[in-house]
Amino acid sequence: MKKIAVFTSGGDAPGMNACIRAVVRGALYHGVEVYGIRRGYSGMIEGGDTIFRMGSRDVSNIIQRGGTVLKSARSKAFMTVEGRKQAYENLVGAGIEGLVAIGGNGTFTGAEIFFNEYKIPTVGAPGTIDNDLYGTDYTIGYDTAVNTALDAIDKIRDTADSHDRVFFIEVMGRDSGYIAIQSGIAGGAEAVMVPESLTPVSEVVKVLKSGFAKKKNSSIVIVAEGEKEGRATEVAEKIQKQIGIDIDIRVTTLGHVQRGGAPTAYDRILASRLGLGAVEGLLRGQKNVMVGVVNNRLIYTPFHESITKEKPISDDMLRMVHILS
């Protein structure tokens, strides 16, 4: 294999640039030409100067930057047979023999379909703040997102305590509660609501009432955006109706702030390890797989498993929230 390309797709995540850097420098170390593809699958279809050769200097001074220097996009055209055919022709025209795809569930779904149709070897590096991919303990960007959420929770607790308020804080994660559970434990939340384990509104009411009985006048409830009882605003409204006492409730949705910012040291190291692992996996013949780290070991998991198998939250973490609240 003499030429490979790297691209980022779907939602951005802190640490993607560190991963791009590792792919480029890892490929060059092994004597392989490396190309970047701007705007993910959209750029692959567009072709031309969106597929460009990268050198070591192109990735200088990016390891600390959030977002992605290759840009990202969600491509409806790539979902069509015609779009994927055009993408394949552009890659062949550029002499690309292998791909490193940095992204999440949607990125790897597209990569698997593309491989099944055209057999271009592809290794994925998990880049998503949601931490919802099977085959890796942590995804690129997750640690930074948790720390960003925690910083906000700490600040909100100050104002909650000053005004004797109950704050419902909604964090991101799509259908995963990983950001919610870890930021909730680290932030000392009184309750955490995640989609993996149904927490009825009645249970949260019970927790809050127990706190009030102990003269606790302010509380924090973390709500994952995929929570089955609803988004934070809906949950707060339900609790206001059921609690039966007069409490001052506020809702804060953290939103896309969790996707931005400089990646933590952990995310930079993880991204570097996965980027190099993706390149070396390609050179060893790996294809149609995601590279991940499980129990501190680098492993390769078929795309189909990484996007379809469940990645449950530890029961111990859910139990911890209940005990420590």
Return the amino acid letter for 226. G
C-alpha to C-alpha distance for 203 and 222, rounded to whole angstroms: 14
Enumerate the active-site residues.
130
**Closest alpha carbon to 107 in 42, 58, 171:** 42
